[in-house]
C-alpha cells in the first residue's frame, strides 16, 4: 500500500482493479478542512486519463505488476516483435502497446515491459538512447552567434533539433523523457 505522502510522478497505483500511473499530482492544504491530494492518473490498460482526489494520508493499493527486460527485434506491419532476455520467448506487441517508445525503437534496443495479470500493459524505454543521424542539412557558416540549432532526422524516424555542428552519420544521445538532444557520441 502507498500513502498519499509517497506520491510522485510515474508511480504505479491500483484503483478498483485497474493499474494507473501518476501523471501529475498536487498536495493541497485549504484554510478550512483537511489536506488532500489532487492527482491525474493514466490507465495502463486503456490510456484514459482520470482526475482523482485523495484525502491526505489515504492508502492506495500497489498494482501487481511484473517488469521484464525485453529486446526489440523487428517490426512486422503494425506489430513489434520483442524477445525476453531471460527465456528467449518472443511476443508481438501492437503499436498502441509500444506507444510513446516508438520514436526511439531501433533493432536490439533493450526496453522494460510491464505486465499486469500476465498481459503486457506498458513499454518503458531506457532514459537515454544513442541514435544515428540519417539526414541533416549542413550548418551555415557564421550562423552560430546564438548557438543555433537545425532539424535532423534520426535512424528511427524521430525529427530532433540538434546543434549546427551535427552532420549525417553522427551518433547523438537523446533523452527519452523529454525527447531532447543531449550530446554527440564519439
Number of domains in the chain: 3
Question: Does residue 132 share a domain with residue 116?
Answer: no
Choosing from 124, 139, 161, the residue where a domain stops is 124
Q: Which residues lie closer than 8 Å to 122 by C-beta, 6 or more apart?
A: 21, 44, 97, 99, 113, 114
Question: Does residue 120 share a domain with residue 159?
Answer: no
Cβ neighbours, 10 Å, residue 32:
4
What is the per-residue pLDDT for 142?
A: 61
Q: Which residues lie closer than 8 Å to 21 by C-beta, 6 or more apart?
A: 10, 11, 12, 13, 41, 42, 44, 122
> What 3-state DSSP class applies to 97?
helix
Question: Does residue 52 share a domain with residue 7?
Answer: yes
Structure confidence by residue, pLDDT tens digits, 67-96: 999 999 999 998 999 999 999 999 999 888
Beta partners for residue 144, in sequence order? none
Rounded to an integer, the average pLDDT of 31-43 is 91
Q: Is the dihedral of CA 63, 68, 69, 71 positive or negative?
A: negative
Global confidence as pTM: 0.74
User: Which three cell numbers, joined as nine digits, stand for 177?
Assistant: 523523457
Structure confidence by residue, pLDDT tens digits, 137-150: 887 666 555 678 88
What is the per-residue pLDDT for 10?
A: 85
- Give the structural domain span for 50: 2-60
DSSP state, residue 104: G
CATH of the domain at 29: 2.30.30.30
pLDDT of 44 higher than 90: no
CATH of the domain at 90: 2.40.50.140
pLDDT of 52 higher than 90: yes
Amino acid at each position: 500500500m502507498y500513502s498519499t505522502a509517497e506520491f510522485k510522478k510515474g508511480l504505479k497505483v491500483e484503483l478498483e482493479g485497474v493499474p494507473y500511473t501518476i501523471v501529475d499530482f498536487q498536495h493541497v492544504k485549504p484554510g478550512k478542512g483537511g489536506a488532500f491530494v489532487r492527482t491525474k492518473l493514466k490507465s495502463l490498460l486503456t490510456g484514459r486519463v482520470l482526475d482523482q482526489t485523495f484525502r491526505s494520508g489515504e492508502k492506495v493499493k500497489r498494482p501487481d505488476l511484473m517488469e521484464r527486460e525485453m529486446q526489440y527485434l523487428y517490426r512486422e506491419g503494425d506489430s513489434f516483435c520483442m524477445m525476453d532476455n531471460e527465456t528467449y520467448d518472443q511476443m508481438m506487441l501492437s503499436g498502441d502497446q509500444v506507444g510513446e517508445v516508438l520514436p526511439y525503437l531501433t533493432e536490439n534496443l533493450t526496453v522494460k515491459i510491464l505486465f499486469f495479470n500476465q498481459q503486457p500493459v506498458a513499454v518503458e524505454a531506457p532514459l537515454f538512447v544513442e541514435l544515428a543521424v540519417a539526414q541533416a542539412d549542413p550548418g551555415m557558416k557564421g550562423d552560430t552567434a546564438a548557438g543555433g540549432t537545425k532539424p535532423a532526422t534520426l535512424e528511427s524516424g524521430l525529427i530532433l533539433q540538434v546543434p549546427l555542428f551535427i552532420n549525417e552519420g553522427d551518433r547523438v544521445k537523446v533523452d527519452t523523457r523529454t525527447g531532447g538532444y543531449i550530446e554527440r557520441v564519439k
